[in-house]
Structure 1
Amino acid sequence: MRKVDRRFLWLIGMMYIIKNIDYSNAASVKVLQLGKPSNILVQLNMTADQYNWVQSIYFISYIVFEVPSNLLLKKVSPRNWQFRIIFSWGAVLACHAAVKNRQGLYAARFFLGLMEAGMFPGIAAQLCSWYRSDEMGKPIMWMFGFQNCSGIVGSLLAYGISYMDGMRGMSAWQWVYLLEGVATMVFSIVVFFVLPDYPKSPRSNSWLTPREQEYLEARLSENAPRTEDAAFSKSEIIASLRNPRTYSFMLSQLLLNLGGYGLSWQLPTVTTSLGFAGLPRNQLLNIPPSAASVLAIIFAGWFLDRAYMTRPAFIMWICAGALAFFIVLAATTEKYAVYVACVLGTMFYSVYFIPFWAWRSSSLTGTTGTAFTLAFQSCVGQVGGAVGPQMFKSRYAYNGYKLPFGICAGAIGFGWLANVWTWWLTRNIEYDVMRIRRLRIKAEKNGRLFAEDDVKVFEEREFYGKGLVKKSDIETAV
């Protein structure tokens, strides 16, 4: 497993940080050279409301092409498909530097979403073939930890590149897109040579022994996708569409994204308007929210690994914290309170997905079912990313966007309720995951590998019936 960690963790972390920098840089370039002739809004003759469509159009194409992209993952192989995704989106990103009007920028954003579709659910589906559900917190922590480092790296890049304004006749925003696009294309070559496929794929022979390959699949729970699974199974797609868990997880993700994406899109504009720093140092105000998120994500990964409580129980606390700080954003314009709420609201939203995606992996089944379910859920869940920016119209700026932030707070609150529903639907599996994880931890402390029992997914154990079972019954089951 240390071999697997070394092969995956840094690589998927870098994949996700680059992905996040490349799609979120549109929010940063909006405030580069603000009020000057070289600002992107001035050069492309756009209003702030028109510019909000830059993010929405990206998510619209991302949503449309997410499922088809992920269904090709097994057929083409994860390594080849992720290389194609990253290289093509880097090329499209670099082309952003050549646009001359808002229509050109809209077209570039549509193709960026198209090319990037399938990247995250593809990685998540592939990881299910290498890590058990109770271990998924670790790779998800690395992905989202690096993702939130993108706020730090992206802000520093925007700050540094802002001094290139006018160089060779190009504005700073054009240099941001060009340099980051070229860097992404170069990185795709690393992905092509380093990213594995599946435990028993031919490419794994170079770094895993046959016995290690057998062990990696033998240790997985009964529902995990495996190397020898068919590239496509219609029955697994139908089963996913009939499963209420598909829609409960989807609703939870959509509602949390509606609030979270709204804040992340508007964050550079809000922090700039607070007046704490002038241009170009305003970009540095976006670093504390990202830094707080990274620290919280590391803690969440450690906490999940110890199995102190079920993952949905942990999520309840995270959603409560996010809701509290979104209410602050909707209730006050006091600049210090707003900035603190931006930092902590971003932190709670970011950490939510560590237990969420680990939780989601526990009830996925089969290679096609896993790929389809993750892509279908993710594409509908990303509707929040398309709608979120549209709430922040310029007419709401006069009082610090209280109304949009109020809507975001409402979405977070309903997301909390959706997670309660999802928790009920997965209550037995999630308790079983926690139970087995604790037994595995206890065995490791005694220097041995626990293999006497495992999580039951196809025929769930009944830890909870119509009401909670007696404590003595649970102890007996443990």
Structure 2
Amino acid sequence: MGFFAKEKIRHDEEVQDPTQETAPSYTYAQNDGHIEYDDDLHVPCPPHTTERKLVTKIDLHVLPFLCILYLLAFLDRVNISNANIFGLSKELDLERDSRYNNALVIFFVPYILFEIPSNLILKKLRPHVWLSLCMFGFGLVTMLQGFVQNYEGLLTTRFFLGVFETGMFPGCFYLIGMWYRRHEAQRRYTFFFSSTTLAGAFGGLLASAIGKMDGMKGYRGWRWIFILEGVLTVLVSIAFFFLIPDFPEDVKWLTTEERAYVQARLRVDQGRSALERRITFQDVRNVFKDPKIFAGGFMYFGLIVPAYGYAYFSPGIIQSYGYSRIQTQLHSVPPWAAAFVFAMIVAYISDKIRHRFAFTIICISICIVGFGILIAVHDNTKLQYGALFLVAIGAYSAMPIIVCWFNMNLGGHHRRSVGSAWQVAFGNIGGIIAVYAFMQKDAPKYITGYSICIAFVILSGLSCLIYFILVSYQNRKRNKMGADLGLTEHEKTEMGDNSPDYRYLL
């Protein structure tokens, strides 16, 4: 069956009461060294509904709002590249001493430092409070970017943009992971993550329209991009205070029976969440004793470099092919749209066959081919433009698989909240590298930038291989060891995915 063997869990005993405090015991069937598990949870579904209807209800209450939230967050983060096409650098004198690159990189300083604290605050305050508050903050700062008068003002606003956006990505991934079973998660993670590709496409279309407002009320077109997109985010954040979902244990739009069932189905798949327990410093220390945590960080780190390199510099690269400012914005849309479609197809297949590793390698290989063409070809703009499709498709399809694979293999609130934030925080160091990989002096060929991107994509692929080996080894070890080690259910809950009951998705 190879890599594509389906995972199947058989339960020794039927769960008669979905509100019971102990998780069911598991037995694991081997098939060519791979775990298999059954969809039949033996957990009674609440009356007047089915599991499919309940999952659809969850989808409608969770995904749309988080997707819109992150679409606006990513749009407000990278719209500086669209603004730059309309004269940002020229008016604020950013064309000397790498000032434009500095303005990009200062965003990542608070964005990296505050990822883990943000997830801890999210758990304490509840998601709808913390995420909507952060959304209001980065919307306001984006709007203020439209009024800056100098380089120093731009640096200040970019720094605070990083402060308020720090919790968006890991917080949303953490929240999604607490709603879905592992074999359901990839399509949801990818749909959420693809908000970035939709933001890229939407940003190009929006910028091409807003850019025509150049000179209106005395403001240049690039200022209107920041002002209007910032105002939109602020208005949406106010509504989202009432719309962003909390954890399954807290929401009011599920009945008592539905909440109990959702918690039971997640407990069967992932073990108990331990939401009720406060996360301690010892919990954080224990997470970092696990070598898989570091492999997960490098998987994401390697792809952040090409992802941000593309997001920040593709408009400039496309403009170098001879397009006007408006044509450049419009030509930036198709690669993002293609990346969205491809990522969703890959996610659907990945969930169906319940496998992650092979798909990361396939997408990473596509990305490498794209950069290889960009390095080798400099006199064929159609082929170069086509290579940008491969870069966007490869990078933005592999990233959600990597994040979902890693996050959904973390058991319990305390390990997932810390681990997910760590992966994103460490990975975003790559954003700093991406910013300085593409320097104006290297335009239009950008050989150095493309070469750096290939190297980091390969690093991501090797890290995926190491992570695959580690989780495969742990599964085989636990199969031989068995689950009956005299541990109480409380002790297993505290161990999270380190519990002998737990099996990792490959």
TM-score category of the 2 structures, normalised to the smaller one: 0.7 to 0.9
Report the residue type matching 1:367 in the other structure: H
**Unaligned stretches of 5+ in structure 2?**
1-54, 478-495
Tell me which residue corresponds to 1:373.
419
Tell me which residue corresponds to 2:167.
118
Tell me which residue corresponds to 2:92.
44
State yes or no: 1:24 paired with 2:69: no
Tell me which residue corresponds to 2:292.
245
Q: Could you tell me whether the CA contact under 8 Å between 2:409 and 2:504 is conserved in 1?
A: no
Q: Could you tell me whether the CA contact under 8 Å between 2:303 and 2:399 is conserved in 1?
A: no
**Quick one: distance in 2 between partners of 1:200 and 1:463?**
24
How far does residue 138 in structure 1 lie from its aligned partner after superposition?
2.3
**Quick one: distance in 2 between partners of 1:370 and 1:462?**
15
Tell me which residue corresponds to 2:240.
191
User: CA offsets per residue over residues 8-33 of structure 1, 9 Å max, x none?
Assistant: 1211111121111110101111111x
Taking a change above 3 Å as real, the CA distance of residues 122 and 390 of structure 1, as seen in their structure-2 partners, is same
Tell me which residue corresponds to 1:459.
500
State yes or no: 1:153 paired with 2:202: yes
State yes or no: 1:305 paired with 2:346: no
Taking a change above 3 Å as real, the CA distance of residues 43 and 421 of structure 1, as seen in their structure-2 partners, is same
Q: Could you tell me whether the CA contact under 8 Å between 1:258 and 1:388 is conserved in 2?
A: yes
How far does residue 310 in structure 1 lie from its aligned partner after superposition?
2.0
**Quick one: distance in 1 between partners of 2:111 and 2:504?**
39
Tell me which residue corresponds to 2:437.
391
State yes or no: 1:409 paired with 2:458: no
Taking a change above 3 Å as real, the CA distance of residues 17 and 193 of structure 1, as seen in their structure-2 partners, is same
What TM-score does the superposition give when structure 2 sets the normalisation length?
A: 0.81
SS across alignment from 1:219? helix
**Quick one: distance in 2 between partners of 1:304 and 1:124?**
18
How far does residue 296 in structure 1 lie from its aligned partner after superposition?
0.6
How far does residue 304 in structure 1 lie from its aligned partner after superposition?
1.7
State yes or no: 1:265 paired with 2:319: no
Taking a change above 3 Å as real, the CA distance of residues 225 and 278 of structure 1, as seen in their structure-2 partners, is farther
State yes or no: 1:423 paired with 2:468: yes
Tell me which residue corresponds to 1:13.
67
**Quick one: distance in 2 between partners of 1:381 and 1:463?**
22
State yes or no: 1:76 paired with 2:122: no
Report the residue type matching 2:90 in the other structure: V
Match among 271, 274, 281 for residue 234 of structure 1: 281
**Quick one: distance in 2 between partners of 1:54 and 1:176?**
17
How far does residue 187 in structure 1 lie from its aligned partner after superposition?
0.7
Q: Could you tell me whether the CA contact under 8 Å between 2:132 and 2:237 is conserved in 1?
A: yes
Q: Could you tell me whether the CA contact under 8 Å between 1:62 and 1:114 is conserved in 2?
A: yes
Q: Could you tell me whether the CA contact under 8 Å between 1:297 and 1:350 is conserved in 2?
A: yes
Match among 279, 294, 314 for residue 325 of structure 2: 279
Tell me which residue corresponds to 2:142.
93
Taking only the aligned residue pairs, the percentage that are identical comes to: 27
Q: Could you tell me whether the CA contact under 8 Å between 1:66 and 1:117 is conserved in 2?
A: yes
**Quick one: distance in 2 between partners of 1:3 and 1:224?**
23
Q: Could you tell me whether the CA contact under 8 Å between 2:366 and 2:393 is conserved in 1?
A: no
How far does residue 456 in structure 1 lie from its aligned partner after superposition?
7.6
How far does residue 328 in structure 1 lie from its aligned partner after superposition?
1.3
Match among 42, 57, 62 for residue 3 of structure 1: 57
Match among 320, 333, 353 for residue 378 of structure 2: 333
Aligned length: 430
How far does residue 420 in structure 1 lie from its aligned partner after superposition?
0.6
**Quick one: distance in 2 between partners of 1:31 and 1:60?**
25
Q: Could you tell me whether the CA contact under 8 Å between 2:112 and 2:426 is conserved in 1?
A: yes
**Quick one: distance in 2 between partners of 1:51 and 1:75?**
37
Bigger proportion of residues as helix: 1
Taking a change above 3 Å as real, the CA distance of residues 12 and 428 of structure 1, as seen in their structure-2 partners, is farther
Report the residue type matching 1:187 in the other structure: V
Taking a change above 3 Å as real, the CA distance of residues 351 and 430 of structure 1, as seen in their structure-2 partners, is farther
**Quick one: distance in 1 between partners of 2:244 and 2:504?**
39
SS across alignment from 1:99? coil
After TM superposition, the structure 1 stretch with the greater mean CA deviation from structure 2, 72-81 or 260-269, is: 260-269
How far does residue 319 in structure 1 lie from its aligned partner after superposition?
1.0
Tell me which residue corresponds to 2:484.
none
Note the aligned Cα RMSD (angstroms).
2.2
**Unaligned stretches of 5+ in structure 1?**
33-38, 433-454, 465-478
**Quick one: distance in 1 between partners of 2:474 and 2:256?**
31
After TM superposition, the structure 1 stretch with the greater mean CA deviation from structure 2, 323-332 or 172-181, is: 323-332
Report the residue type matching 2:91 in the other structure: Q
Report the residue type matching 1:313 in the other structure: A
After TM superposition, the structure 1 stretch with the greater mean CA deviation from structure 2, 73-82 or 312-321, is: 312-321
**Quick one: distance in 1 between partners of 2:165 and 2:425?**
12
Q: Could you tell me whether the CA contact under 8 Å between 1:198 and 1:227 is conserved in 2?
A: no
Tell me which residue corresponds to 1:452.
none
Report the residue type matching 1:355 in the other structure: I
How far does residue 429 in structure 1 lie from its aligned partner after superposition?
6.9
